[in-house]
Amino acid sequence: AVFVTGAEPISWSEVGDWTEALEIYLDPELLPGAEVETRFDLRDAVVLGIAHVLRRAHVVDEPIADIEASTLAHRLAAHLADEYDGSRPVRRRPAGTLERRTVDQVAEYVEAQLGGTITLDQLAGVASLSPFHFARAFRASTGLAPHRFVTARRMQAARSLLLDSAVSVVDIAHSVGFTNVSHFRRVFRREHGVPPGQLRSRQQDRTSHSA
């Protein structure tokens, strides 16, 4: 789950299951006078893309450069203002970016095809753009290159299966589009900081200790 909040942290209570959450605190000066609506249970591919960049920097201890962090913050603030600030008139999206609807359509296509082959040409076709222009616009919109977005969604799906099912690592790898299990393990560790088996063991240990 991703929470984009103001200056105050979120108060948590009665969280029944083990979960992972990322809280993003935007500088209020990036949203002067904004009245961003409070929304829950919302799937926003632009927010997810930016959140993945920030999460991975924390998990694998690879801080992102100041200029990249600033760019992501401004992109997120502009997106929130454009999509969720009811007090502002409809504004034109930043040049070189995709419409929110197009990003969501691409994200839905990725989710539906996680277990199969996903190519840049296919994603560009969903957006009705050439592969070159799509790749640039998608990265400008989400903070992630298309292939990084696909990998992020595959790794998130794999993580959910590891924690919420007894499916083997081999079968999970195949279900999210990896034919080479060793490659899957390397990518998973790069994205989450631990091998898939170790992540599952940690969850099982937490469950047994809380029982």
Residues 85-128: tens digit of each pLDDT = 766 655 556 668 898 899 999 999 999 999 999 999 999 999 99
Supply the pLDDT for residue 103: 93
CB proximity list for 149: less than 8 A, separation 6 or greater: 49, 52, 107, 110, 138, 142
Q: Is the separation of the CB atoms in 155 and 116 below 8 Å?
A: no
What structural domains does the chain harbor? 2-210 (1.10.10.60)
Tell me which DSSP letter residue 177 carries.
T
pTM of the model: 0.68
Q: Is the pLDDT of residue 14 over 60?
A: no
Query: Is residue 37 packed enough to be buried (19+ CB in 10 Å), middle (13-18) or exposed (0-12)?
Result: exposed
Q: Is the pLDDT of residue 1 over 70?
A: no
Residue 136's φ and ψ, nearest 5 degrees, are -65, -45
In the chain, the percentage of residues whose pLDDT exceeds 70 is 80
Helices H, strands E: what count in the chain? 9, 2
Residues 147-204: tens digit of each pLDDT = 989 998 999 999 999 999 999 999 999 999 999 999 999 999 988 889 999 988 887 7
> Position 38: which residue type?
T
